[in-house]
Amino acid sequence: MEYQEDIAIVKKYKNGIALVEIQKSEACNSCLMSKVCMGKDKSFLHKITTDMKLEIGDLVKIYISPGVKIFSSFIIFIFPVLSMIFFYFSGKYIFKLTENFSILLSFAGLFLSGVIIYIIDKKYSKKIHFEIVEKVE
């Protein structure tokens, strides 16, 4: 199995639950969209349950499922574009709207996709599975 790993810093550790700060990976530095996916922050915090004994400041490798990365990239970058195209062609050819109204409808589709992304984020962000693979020495 190929691992998708990121390096994280343990910020808190208590009763088997580590609060880690996950840094943007090296791959993010070369990505043109790196400012979009995590905003202005260069890191984000996440709670991970682990059996390892950790201390504040430890560096750890975090396993993130490749499927999660692919799915989230699709939802954030592809779904809004597909939504705009779908709403435009629906307005133009199904509802026989004028060009201007079809364009406005496509922007409504973009707004709707933003709302759907927000709902998906709120519902599933706690269910994303991160796993501490090992301590980095």
Look at residue 57 in the predicted model and tell me its pLDDT: 94
Q: pLDDT (tens digit, 0 to 9) for every residue of the chain, 137 residues total?
A: 455 678 899 999 999 999 999 876 665 655 545 555 555 556 778 889 899 999 999 999 988 888 887 888 899 999 999 999 999 999 999 999 999 999 999 999 999 999 999 998 888 877 777 889 899 88
Q: What is the pTM of this model?
A: 0.67
- For residues 28 and 25, give the distance between their C-alpha atoms in angstroms, rounded to a whole number: 5
Q: Which pLDDT score is estimated for 43?
A: 75
* CA gap 21, 41 in Å, rounded: 11
Give the helix, strand, coil percentages of the chain, each rounded to 5: 50, 25, 25
Single out the residue of 6, 43, 39, 44 nearest to residue 25, CA to CA: 6
Around Cβ 20, how many Cβ atoms within 10 Å?
27
